[in-house]
Amino acid sequence: MYLKIFGLPAHPLVVHATAVLVPLAALVVAAAALWPALHRRLGPLPLGLAAVALALVPLTTSTGDQLEARLPESPLIARHAELADGLLPWVFGLFTISVFVTWLDWRLRKATAVTEQLASSPAVAVDVPVVAGAASRPAGTAGTAASQPSGEQRQSAAPTAAATAAGGNPVALRLVAALLAVVAATGTVVQVVRIGDAGAKAAWSDVPAAPRPDADGG
């Protein structure tokens, strides 16, 4: 079915939304991956934009194929369609990375909560090591030592629990997420620019330049 919007071919209308939202999603996802504090402020916005971009790309290519089928064959149109087909893998990668960044942010928030809980009630984390050495302590002091761990024990227990809750090294995961986001965002934006350039050439290359009526001063 040939899709129209208000009697006009849908592709020229949909493609403008894609040309704006896809690069915007790429930039927001990359910024959120590079600056965790910004991601916390933006909340689900990066993931939402990436999802909208992922939905727009197949719609745009589908309407483009419909329009291409109704136009005369042209190498420029074929080149434009070929480049457009290469955008979906980039946007899919961008969406996948946005899911990973959102998941990582949630895991790190959980790790922070665990660390704060340990700092407020550290006795649970160190009962076993202290009790193991209680045989060498006087009977009257064993229970007190077990319930009151030292400052060094509290400091060493909190990072360990945080790393465990985060599912690995948080710094390394952040670096990997940021690198992948920058690569996907760069590839997406470059591909959009290439598609737009090819589309402009296909649309306007055969249009003769008409002189303005007042070009000669008449």
DSSP the chain: ---EETTEEHHHHHHHHHHHHHHHHHHHHHHHHH-HHHHHHHTTHHHHHHHHHHHHHHHHHHHHHHHHHTS---HHHHHHHHHHHTHHHHHHHHHHHHHHHHHHHHHHHHHHHHHHHHHH-THHHHHHHHHHTGGGS-TTTHHHHHHS--HHHHHHHHHHHHHHHHTS-HHHHHHHHHHHHHHHHHHHHHHHHHHHHHHHHHHHTTS--PPPTTTT--
Residue 140 lies in a domain: yes
Highest-confidence segment of 37-51, 109-123, 159-173: 37-51
**Is the per-residue pLDDT at 119 higher than 60?**
yes
Residue 41 lies in a domain: yes
Say what the pTM is: 0.69
Greater confidence, 151 or 184?
A: 184
- The per-residue pLDDT for 182 is 96
- The per-residue pLDDT for 85 is 92
Residue 124 lies in a domain: yes
Bridge partners (DSSP) listed for residue 43: none
Residue 69 lies in a domain: yes
Mean local confidence (pLDDT), 1-15: 65
User: For tokens 């928030």, what's the residue?
Assistant: 109
Given a contact cutoff of 8 angstroms between Cβ atoms, the answer to whether 63 and 10 are in contact is: yes
Total tally of structural domains belonging to the chain:
1
- The per-residue pLDDT for 145 is 45
Residue 213 lies in a domain: no
Mean pLDDT score across all residues of the chain: 76
- The per-residue pLDDT for 158 is 47
Burial of 79 (0-12, 13-18, 19+ CB in 10 A): middle
Return the C-alpha torsion angle 171, 177, 182, 187, nearest 10.
160
Highest-confidence segment of 149-153, 184-188, 198-202: 184-188
Residue 53 lies in a domain: yes
- The per-residue pLDDT for 5 is 60
Highest-confidence segment of 1-5, 90-94, 173-177: 90-94
Residue 141 lies in a domain: yes
**Is the per-residue pLDDT at 211 higher than 80?**
no
Greater confidence, 15 or 54?
A: 54
Residue 187 lies in a domain: yes
Q: Taking the chain, what is the end-to-end CA distance rounded to the nearest angstrom?
A: 49
Burial 163-187 (b: 16+ CB within 10 A, else e): bebbeeebeebbebbbebbbebbeb
- The per-residue pLDDT for 91 is 97
State the pLDDT confidence band at 185, using cuts at 50, 70 and 90. very high
- The per-residue pLDDT for 162 is 47
Residue ranges making up the domain that contains 57: 4-203
Task: Quote the CA–CA distance of 67 and 77 in Å, as a whole number.
Answer: 10
Task: Quote the CA–CA distance of 122 and 116 in Å, as a whole number.
Answer: 10
pLDDT tens-digit series, residues 59-112: 999 888 877 777 788 888 889 889 999 999 999 999 999 999 999 888 877 767
